[in-house]
Amino acid sequence: MEFADALLVSIVTASTPLLLAAIGELVVERSGVLNLGVEGMMIMGAVCAFATSLTTGNPYLGILAGIAGGAVMALLFAFLTLGLVANQYATGLALSLLGLGFSGMIGEHYVGTPGVKLPTLDIPVLSDIPVIGDAIFNQDILFYMTIALVFGVSWFLFKSRTGLILRSVGENHNSAHALGYNVNRVRLYAVLFGGVCSGLSGSYLSLVYTNLWIENMTAGRGWIALALVVFASWLPWRTIAGAYLFGAVLILQFHAQGAGWEVPSQLLSALPYLATIVALVFISRNRTVARVNTPSCLGQSFVPDR
């Protein structure tokens, strides 16, 4: 592999888990639900995927288990916030803590054991393209799924009727309810989708990124994904830009350090969060353009009055 190829592959690997989790959370937030439990769902996905692939020897079964792990956590969140109308912020935080602790318990016996790596699927001819070939056309199934998901979500939200309903639920749940849509059912599906994506993201961590299980291995990526959604101002395409920007900054600062440049590495580590704060400032300053995409009912519970 040439230097540039290797660099791009590293960037793509670092960005994919962020993108996966962010695209899921974007759909959740578009429906008006704020699930702060991304980190918890992700780590559950990671441990389920790792344990299953190690026991069965099949990484694809691992991915399924990762999806299930994330989805079960999302269901719990949905039960509490949609069913019992619990506070979404508190429930999300609790979900993160629960996921970190519970995954540690499940994964106790898998610490210190190398895992099963997800194979790459080489697309002939295209993967021979210089520089970008390896990074884009010689990847594993999760990478291709991620890209497909971004296309899919973008189409779904803005071109499909169901996507319109989902967005209207997030914009004004009372109107959506008055029009006869089942607000909480729509939100349940959205939350579940978010769980599936976080589960996939966790699977990517333990099956591709680093082939091992250690407690707390997500190391805050769930929070970066949450920040990314805001950074992308709830637009799917911008999450791609954001995820690759964050990934590129991370990898490039390592290269800069290795090459002996003096970079303030602490500052660069904080960059995703700084970028998000800047994005938030823009959103709150600009009343029309930037705010158009912010779901108005974000974080508000819906109780239908009868």
Give the residues lining the site for another protein (CB under 8 A): 3, 6-7, 10, 13-14, 17, 104, 107-108, 111-114, 205, 209-212, 214-217, 219-221, 250-251, 254-255, 257-260, 262, 264-266, 269
Instruction: Between 33 and 217, name the residue whose CB sits nearer to another protein.
Output: 217
The least CB distance from residue 302 to another protein, in Å, is: 36
The least CB distance from residue 282 to another protein, in Å, is: 27
The least CB distance from residue 30 to another protein, in Å, is: 27
Instruction: Between 176 and 205, name the residue whose CB sits nearer to another protein.
Output: 205
Instruction: Between 130 and 258, name the residue whose CB sits nearer to another protein.
Output: 258
Instruction: Between 188 and 243, name the residue whose CB sits nearer to another protein.
Output: 243
Chain centroid, CA 290 distance in Å: 22
The least CB distance from residue 297 to another protein, in Å, is: 34
Which residues sit opposite 139 in a β-bridge?
Answer: 121
The least CB distance from residue 245 to another protein, in Å, is: 15
How far apart CA 120 and CA 100 sit, in angstroms, is 29
Instruction: Between 27 and 100, name the residue whose CB sits nearer to another protein.
Output: 100
